[in-house]
Structure 1
């Protein structure tokens, strides 16, 4: 039976590559994007290679669009096997920690935290219909308390207060969702793709030199787990390497 996947923020960068790799593995993948023109263009380009990629308009900050996207999946397949919460923003690049405002945190949290909750809550009923439900949350070492508290922490030096704290919150969501959905057999894990140059870090000095293909390896690995392999884990750029919560 073909797995059904939904990827948020799937029209460009890491999200698009995750969509491509999942579809290349034979999944039917819903490419969620808030911009309809860009989403349709991306899904059409990916379908041109013969993969089953379908666009759904999905803005994680808009519960109405989220519900409509989930209803589309329900009407067409009645279940969801994989949810990748990829949509995210980093709005405070270049701002000193002490100058970051509460409004900047609210804007970042609206996407990275509240958006993840909105999408996950809407998708859980369909994930429960799957024989092997999997949720993958795209996190970052910038949200790792282990990395941030290290004496020589490069993550702490970057001072990304809104982004880092939102990803730390996402890690907590991952752990608590993993526990809450354990009895349903739904595996919930977080992935950090490493330093992949994308729009989200375009204005930063830490863009890195990994490709989106490199960055998608761990999320795709977690999205294709066999039943009962792992849940509540935070996986880094090497499949066997966990950088710690």
Structure 2
């Protein structure tokens, strides 16, 4: 049975991604900053008949917590097949290039960028032991420099310098990570789940968590002929999913 770890897996897109992977026969380690919240989500999944789920406490902004989570997972399995770096925060609005302070940037970057690096580095050796390891970094089309500067982009008027720049940084991390792993079986991609109705955006999104989950799962289970080092948004490009950096 393949095993997956999902950060921020106790709610919204993370939880739906867990649900869909469980339905596909994966064993899911559901990462949650609050262990009680994570356990409640696991209980809810089990009530649906999805038994192969387990809550793991992790705060991606805390190195000690990340290492503890790695040790917990390692005590249960030697091999990790999939890592989904889903945990993220928006940083609140408004976000102004002239008025947003350093503390606002640092808080968001701690989760959206540094958190991804911490978790990936902690788990990479377990991933390398899998026959077809996959890493999905949950990004956003808002992190695209090309789209953010294109007045014809449907989200052009939505500007949030803190969040957008954090996702642009995450995209570069994805590119560099895929390059470093180019001679291994690890495939790494950045995926935009779409503008989804969740508490992340006060339910202002247009897509459902089911659609978002499907988009993340697609790249978590890609085959040997699948892409690596790519950036995908099926919302903005339904044909190939590929969007510009």
- TM-score band w.r.t. shorter chain: over 0.9
CA displacement at 1:154 relative to structure 2: 4.6
The answer for the alignment partner of 1:27 in structure 2 is 26
The answer for the alignment partner of 1:220 in structure 2 is 217
The answer for the alignment partner of 1:210 in structure 2 is 207
CA displacement at 1:200 relative to structure 2: 1.5
Distance 1:134 1:228 in 2: 13
Distance 1:200 1:154 in 2: 20
Asked if 2 retains the 8 angstrom alpha-carbon contact of 1:187 and 1:228, the reply is no
Distance 1:22 1:79 in 2: 17
Asked if 2 retains the 8 angstrom alpha-carbon contact of 1:97 and 1:159, the reply is no
CA displacement at 1:43 relative to structure 2: 0.9
Q: What TM-score, normalized to structure 2?
A: 0.94
The answer for the alignment partner of 2:59 in structure 1 is 59
The answer for the alignment partner of 1:235 in structure 2 is 232
The answer for the alignment partner of 1:88 in structure 2 is 88
Q: Any idea what SS the aligned residue of 2:114 has?
A: helix
CA displacement at 1:239 relative to structure 2: 6.9
Task: Figure out how many residues of one structure are paired with residues of the other and give that number.
Answer: 241
1:188-199 to 2 correspondence within 5 Å? 188-199=188-199
1:79 aligns with 2:79: yes
The answer for the alignment partner of 2:183 in structure 1 is 183
CA displacement at 1:186 relative to structure 2: 0.1
The answer for the alignment partner of 1:46 in structure 2 is 45
Note closer, same or farther for the CA distance 1:241–1:24 as it changes in structure 2 (3 Å cut).
same
Distance 1:69 1:129 in 2: 18
CA displacement at 1:228 relative to structure 2: 4.2
What is the root-mean-square deviation of aligned Cα atoms in Å?
A: 1.4
Q: Structure 2, unaligned stretches of length 5 or more?
A: none
CA displacement at 1:29 relative to structure 2: 0.4
Distance 2:54 2:107 in 1: 28
1:169 aligns with 2:166: no
| Cα-to-partner distance string for 1:29-77 (whole Å, 9 max, x where unaligned) | 0000001111110011112223211100011011112112112222211
Which protein has the bigger helix share? 1
Distance 2:41 2:115 in 1: 22
Asked if 2 retains the 8 angstrom alpha-carbon contact of 1:221 and 1:239, the reply is no
Q: Structure 1, unaligned stretches of length 5 or more?
A: none
CA displacement at 1:156 relative to structure 2: 4.2
Asked if 2 retains the 8 angstrom alpha-carbon contact of 1:92 and 1:162, the reply is no
Note closer, same or farther for the CA distance 1:224–1:239 as it changes in structure 2 (3 Å cut).
farther
Moved segments of 4+, more than 4 Å: none
